[in-house]
Amino acid sequence: MKIFNKYLVISLLTITFTSCEFDLLDSPNEVGPANANIDFLLANSYLTFNDLMTGVSNNTMGVTRLVTMQANVYTADNGPQTWDGVWENAYANLIPDFDLVIVKAKESGITFPEGVAKVLKAYALTTMVDIFGDVPYTEAFLGTSNFGPKADKGADIYAVSDKLLDEARTILAGHQQEHWLMICIMVVLLQNG
Amino acid sequence: MGYAVTTLSSADIELKPEADVTRVLRGKVPGVNINQTSGLAGSGTNIIIRGYTSISGSNQPLFVVDGVPFGSSTSPDRGALGGNATASSRFLDLDPNNVAEVSVLKGLSATVLYGEAGRNGVILITTKSGTHNNKNDKMSVFVEQGIFVNQIASLPQDQDFYGNGFDNAASGAFSNWGADVRKPGAQGTNLDADGTIAHPYDRAAITAFLPEYKGARYAYKAYDNLQGFYQKGLISNTSVGASARVDKTSINFTFSHRDEEGFVPLSKLKRNNLSLGTNTTLANGLTLTSTFNYVGIDKTAPPAGASTSSNPDGAGASSLFSNVLYVPRSVDLNGLAYELPNHTSIFYRGGNDIQHPLWTINNTKDLEDVNRFFGTIGARFSVTDWLSLNYRLGVDTYSQKNSYQINRGGPQVPDGLMVTSNRTNTIMDHNLNAQFNKSLTESFNLDAVVGVNLRTDNLDRTFTTSTNQFVYGLFAHNNFITHSNSSDKYDEKLLGAFATATLGYKSYLYLNLQGRNDWTSTLEKDNASVFYPSASVSFVPTEAFTGLTNNKVLDYLKLRVGYGTSAGYPDPYRTRSVLSTSTRNFVTGTGTVINTNSVSNFFGNINLKPEIHKELEFGIDAKLFKNLIGLEVSVYNKKSTDLLVNLPLDPSTGYNETAINAANINTNGIELGLTVNAIQKKDVNLSFNANFTTVDNIVEELVDGVDQISIFSIFTTLGSFAIAGQPYGVIQGTKAVRHENGQRLVSSQGLYASDNNLNLLGNPNENYTLNGGFNFSYKGFGLSALVTYQDGGAMFASLPSTLMGRGVLQETDFDRFVPVIAPGVKADGTPNDVQTSSINHYWQNGGVFIDEMRIYDASYWKLREVGVSYKLPSSLLEKTPFGSATITLSGQNLWFKALGFPPGANFDPEVSATGVGNARGFELMNTPTSKTYGGTLRFTF
């Protein structure tokens, strides 16, 4: 009797303990970052770029009297949260996608996407400097390694943009046809946005 | 026992009007804060034991039913703005009439048996069918029938002299600052001498379909709006049960049916509970027990979107209540037609931007269908008389289907909407342990349990949202033009190895040591294992010292001290970064669908660790003066470190959220329980009982670089926060702009301005809660009552401030032509002397525009329960088949008084518009409460 039960207990314990290695850390609801595809990344970045520029335009049209301001006091029209969307679009949504496109383009040897991403990234960075003045760049995009990135001087970021544009010019020089196609897509998006 | 436990028997729980077993526990357990979300049928309940210790995770306790974990989550389809105060909590599936005993384990040292899920406390429920102790051979049967009336408890008192309009003239405004009905024909008020105005439906959009309104007049007077809108609902509870013993097998069976109507036609709950328990002792010392339970729930609720002063605030949200309570006095809510022949909603506004509440009742609903099975199978083998082996399997699986339906034609959701969701949740729990109980020597006794526990949780969800209804009135997804779907699943496993040993010396000194090691599937291998030990000592001086036994004052005294620890694990899939993918983001002019990839904005944290909780507790249990007075005291301090937080990030980090161990919280509390058995005679019994709870939850520190964490955000300028040095859940919102000298700044128009910023507004946690009651019985007759007093606690309440700001409440019965000077200073610092109209002041300078003006002290008194019972004397039943017959009358929430609110608002602060979760102290015009009264007849055979 006792021996029978001892074996039963030991075998049950062994069964339960061997299932110690749970392999449930990868979400079944998403795929891993290695599956990123350049075309789909670019498609998203065009749409986000559109949202970013629309946001910038909407927030500045009142102040520049292209349209009437929504309220009769400046502070009511531009409160602390007015520019949240633009900030989030530029930093969390847009530029990380461009950086990944540049990395993937270099890996695959297809250079056109790299040129596109550099042009638009430069445009986004200069726009942010035009709106906010000094904004983070060198300390940014580091996740939890740096919770509060410090702002860089606007002039330094303009220099970064210039460098990106120079690199892009070299790359796109060999892609005249796609260059025009891309401009057409951009125009269509900006008109529809 | 070295830890704090409160146990209630079925007598405290059964035969009450509530459907939800936790609401019956309100006021009876010190240290436990039970807060209903609203009084609507089947709405959820928030349960917080010994304060809040989690910022982004759950603070709700673990439910254990008949020894196995019971899925108790609340799963709303919409957030707080969309209306989640009607979402049901899954412990609604338990039948209070089938509960034999409820024990609440409050301290951490009590929870080592149940794993990290018990770190917020454990509610142990033993059902009647799970009790397995039917000793008599006789079969016994009981039948119960209860009938209760359910009506709205919190109707405000409105003034009857001013009607719809603004600036003292009658018009179709949102507000009630219009003409004085006692002065018909007064100049400039738009009110004719005969007391009528042009009918609000005398406008082209309506007369095109309903020509009878052309040129019609409308009586401008105070109508019986709220009294006519709410109904008295009926609650019926039927319960049948039987238990029998045949040889060595006992069987226990219960069936209950509940039919509940709420105080509005759209609030309904139907529930069927079926429960069976068996217990068999076999010849070779093996005992088998089992329980099988089935629950079916059919719930209807109205859409209950949140609102802060007018229409529902959430984009695309719908609400029945947002436009009912402040409806202007001269608008006939129940008499005005609510729809055109083409089913479009019509109401008194010229631009038709308020949905007629009767249209909402007839064209919208929020349905829920739950089917649930839960049961246990256990085997116990007595190896010797001091050693036994136990194995128990628990299975709990439910499927919850929700369908949110809105017809097209109403201004809130003009094109109609249908959102359905399907959730299937399964918990399987294996528990294998050895129990040891032996006297080692004459003085020493050892009681030990060693075991293993494996728990798996699976959740599968699908959602479908359809917009643009094609044919009116048809709710099928194919009748809608635009669709979007999503689905996801979550799997989680937890393995624990635990041991607990209690060494007793004679019968007065006990040492208890416990330890548990958990392995979780939600953390990376390096951090997935955590060990948490506990220890406690209890000492009974009245047994130990012969000088103390048999003394006149102290009958019993126990002193206990305990140190407990526990851990907390994150939700699944928080450690790894993923790729964001999305379909149908854009459709080009030629119809090409664009799908996208994007770097996810969630920063996966591989180094995520478990959170750790440590608690030190002292307690005294005493009985004095020959059981005349019973006293229980618990004092504790709990330190929670490395708390798991879903931290929003500055987007310049490249991400906007991560999961991180980011905070420490310190909790101190005192719990007191007092019982006075004033009269204990054979025929007469009178006892008083009281309990007192105070909890102090302070956020000690946050991770470097973060100065506040949002616990719950209602708007960007309003929410609950965790801020270092402040109480947990402190409310922040906008304030009136201040002058340098600290006083409110008044503009040249005599008005305040909102500073549009986050300021500390108040602490929603109460200072203390005091409950007191009595139980009286004389022969077969019984009488009882329970009263609650809550002291302190700030509340952001939209309803009273909207009723004041719109001129509806009886407190606005003043001469509106008298101007007002707002308290404060002008821009130069001198006291304000600018007059403004009373209407401008009460509307603009009040809580509707400035959050700090709608923060109230939520202290309240409440008559929670009253009960009368009569048990027929057995002499009367001798010739009948009945063994006993009892009639019980009970009433719940019959009277309350909120001390910090305008008296006319008749406001009930025991609500939570943010639903079940970590935020408290918000009321957003969507949580009416109910009072119920009625009786139950109970027969046993």
B430, A96: Cβ pair inside 8 Å?
A: no
pLDDT for res A3: 44
Closest by CA position to B749, among listed B835, B686, B676, B824: B835
Supply φ then ψ for residue B10, to 5 degrees.
-65, -25
Using CA coordinates, name the residue in chain B closest to A86. Answer: B651
| Contact check, Cβ <8 Å, B578/A79 | no
Instruction: Classify residue B60 by its DSSP letter.
Output: P
Contact A91 B594 (CB under 8 A): no
* CA trace torsion B180, B183, B185, B186 (10° rounding): -70
- Which residues in chain B have their CB less than 8 angstroms from residue A129's CB? none
Q: Yes or no: say if B926 and B83 are a contact pair by the CB < 8 Å rule.
A: yes
Separation of alpha carbons B787 and B607, rounded Å: 49
Q: Of the candidates A2, A80, A96, which has its C-beta nearest B383's C-beta? A: A2
The answer to whether A27 contacts B578, with C-beta atoms less than 8 Å apart, is yes
**Across the interface, do B383 and A5 touch by the CB < 8 Å criterion?**
yes
Strand partners, B268: B261, B300
Closest residue in chain A to residue B572, using alpha carbons only: A25
**Which chain A positions have a beta carbon within 8 Å of B432's beta carbon?**
9, 12-13, 16
For residue B407, the model assigns a pLDDT of 96
Reading the block at residue A155, the tokens are 């002039």
> What gap in Å lies between CA B641 and CA B280, rounded to an integer?
46
- Residue B879's pLDDT is 84
The alpha carbon of residue A158 is apart from the nearest alpha carbon of chain B, in Å, by 17
Residue B391 with chain A: CB contacts under 8 Å: 12
Which positions of chain B have pLDDT values less than 70? 1-2, 110, 132-137, 549-550
Range list of H helices, B119-259:
204-207, 225-229
Domain count, chain A: 1
Rounded Cα gap, residues B392 and B848, in angstroms: 56
Element (H, E) at B785: strand B781-791
One-letter identity of residue B175: S
CB neighbour burial string for B479-496, b if at least 16 within 10 angstroms, e if fewer? bbeeeeeeeeebbbbbbb
For the CA atoms of B707, B713, B716, B717, the dihedral, rounded to the nearest 10 degrees, stands at -80
Q: Find out whether B523 and B575 touch, Cβ atoms under 8 Å.
A: yes
Nearest to B658 among A34, A144, A148 (CB): A144
Instruction: Report the residue from A81, A100, A188 with minimal CB separation from B599.
Output: A100
| Assigned domain for A5 exists | no
**What letter represents residue B140's amino acid?**
S
Q: Is B917 left (phi over 0), alpha (psi -120 to 50) or beta?
A: left
Q: Which one is predicted more confidently, A64 or A117? A: A117
Q: Which of A30, A48, A99 sits opposite B578 (nearest CB)?
A: A30
Q: What tokens appear for A86 in the block?
A: 């633009």
Contacting A residues, span 139-178, partner chain B, CB-CB under 8 Å: 140-144, 146-149
Q: Which stretch of DSSP H or E encloses residue A10?
A: helix A2-18
CB–CB contacts below 8 A, A to B: 178
Please, are residues B728 and B765 in contact by the beta-carbon 8 Å criterion? yes
Min distance A172 CA to chain B CA atoms (Å): 24
Looking at B327-384, which runs of residues are DSSP E strands? 364-382
Half-sphere exposure of B240 (CA within 13 A, CB side): 3
Cα separations in angstroms, A61 against A70, A191, B825, B843? 11, 16, 35, 31
Count of residues for chain B? 941
The length of chain A in residues reads: 193
| Distance (Å) of CA B610 to CA A134, B526, B607, B643 | 39, 11, 10, 8
- Please indicate if any CB of chain B lies within 8 Å of the CB of A71: no
Task: Kindly tell me if the per-residue pLDDT of A71 is higher than 90.
Answer: no
Task: Give B603's DSSP letter.
Answer: E
CA dist B824 and B738 (Å) reads 9
Q: Beta partners for B463? A: B421, B486
Between A13, A45, A76, which is nearest B452 by CB? A13
Name every residue whose Cβ is closer than 8 Å to that of residue B838 and which is 6 or more positions away in sequence: B814, B816, B817, B818, B819, B820
Show the CA angle centred on residue A182, arms to residues A179 and A186, nearest 5°: 140
Does residue A2 lie in a domain region? no
Out of A28, A32, A95, closest to residue B489 by CB:
A28
Half-sphere exposure of B579 (CA within 13 A, CB side): 17
Given B594, B600, B705, which is nearest A148 (Cβ)? B705
SS3 sequence of B295-308: EEEEEEECCECCCC
Report the CATH number at residue A86: 1.25.40
Query: Which of A12, A30, A96 is closest, CB to CB, to B654?
Result: A96
Closest CA to B620 of B577, B699, B562: B562
Q: How far is B486 from chain A (nearest CA, A)?
A: 10
A 90-129: CB under 8 A from B: 90-93, 95-97, 99-100
The residue among B646, B573, B653, B580 whose CA lies nearest residue B606 is B573
Query: Is the Cβ pair B383, A141 closer than 8 Å?
Result: no
The shortest CB-CB distance from B579 to any of A31, A87, A142 is to: A31
Residues of A in contact with B653 (CB under 8 A): 91-92, 140-144, 146-147, 149
Q: Which one of 3.40.50, 1.20.1300, 2.40.170, 2.60.40 gives the CATH number of domain B5-150+234-304+362-380+388-393+403-415+434-723?
A: 2.40.170
Residues of B in contact with A85 (CB under 8 A): none
**A147 neighbourhood in chain B, CB within 8 Å:** 649-650, 653, 703-706
Residue whose tokens read 């006993």: B884
- Residue in A closest to B452 by C-alpha: A13
Q: What is the C-alpha to C-alpha distance for residues B885 and B873, in angstroms, rounded to an integer?
A: 8
Please indicate whether, in this complex, the C-beta atoms of B519 and A79 are within 8 angstroms of each other.
no
Contacts of A129 (CB under 8 A, 6+ apart): A135, A154, A157, A158
- C-alpha distance from residue B664 to each of B469, B644, B723, B728, B907 (Å): 50, 10, 11, 11, 35
Both tokens of residue B729?
């859940």
Q: Which long-range contacts (CB under 8 A, 24 or more apart) does B194-198 make?
A: B195/B219, B195/B220, B195/B221, B196/B220, B197/B170
Q: Which domain does A175 fall in, by range?
A: 37-192
Q: What is the pLDDT of residue B648?
A: 85
Chain A nearest C-alpha distance from B892 (Å): 45
Chain A positions in Cβ-Cβ contact with residue B851 (cut-off 8 Å): none
> Is residue A18 assigned to a domain?
no
As to burial, measured by CB atoms within 10 angstroms (0-12 exposed, 13-18 middle, 19+ buried), residue B40 is buried
Whether A31 sits inside 8 A of B383 (CB atoms) is no
In chain B, which residues have their Cβ closer than 8 Å to the Cβ of A40?
581, 595-597
Residues of A in contact with B578 (CB under 8 A): 27, 30-33
pTM of this structure: 0.90
Closest chain A C-alpha to B899 CA, distance in angstroms: 35
**Angle in degrees, CA B922, B927, B931, rounded to 5:** 125
pLDDT value of position B771? 96
Q: Which residues contact B467 (CB under 8 A, 6 or more apart)?
A: B415, B416, B417, B480, B481, B482
- What are the structure tokens assigned to B222, written together? 């105070």
Angle (deg, nearest 10), helices A112-132 and A95-108: 160
SS3 state of residue A160? helix
Residue numbers in B near A29 (CB within 8 A): 488-489, 573
At B453, give phi and psi (nearest 5°).
Answer: -140, 125
> How many whole angstroms separate alpha carbon B864 and alpha carbon B554?
33
Q: Are B617 and B3 in contact (CB under 8 A)?
A: yes
In this structure, what DSSP letter does residue A3 have?
Answer: H
A contact test, residue of B386, B428, B525, B596 with most A CBs within 10 A:
B596
**Chosen from B454, B578, B597, B759 to mutate, greatest number of chain A CBs within 10 A:** B597
Task: Spell out which residues of chain A touch residue B745, defining contact as CB-CB under 8 Å.
Answer: none
> Could you tell me if residue B67 is left (phi over 0), alpha (psi between -120 and 50 degrees) or otherwise beta?
left
* Cβ atoms < 10 Å from Cβ of A170: 11
Asked if the Cβ–Cβ distance from A24 to B492 is below 8 Å, we say yes
Of B749, B753, B716, B728, nearest to B853 by C-alpha is B753
B432:A16 CB<8 A: yes
Question: Considering only CB atoms, which chain A residues are within 8 Å of B519?
Answer: 20, 22
Domain ranges (residues) in chain B: 5-150+234-304+362-380+388-393+403-415+434-723
| CB atoms B489 and A29 under 8 Å | yes
Q: Which of B396, B501, B413, B507 is nearest to B457 (CA)?
A: B396
Cα separation, B524 vs B606, whole angstroms: 7
Residues 9-38 in A contacting B (C-alpha not used; CB under 8 Å): 9, 12-13, 16-17, 19-20, 22-37
Query: Which of B513, B671, B393 minimizes the C-alpha distance to B112?
Result: B513
CA distance to partner chain B, nearest, from residue A77 (Å): 11
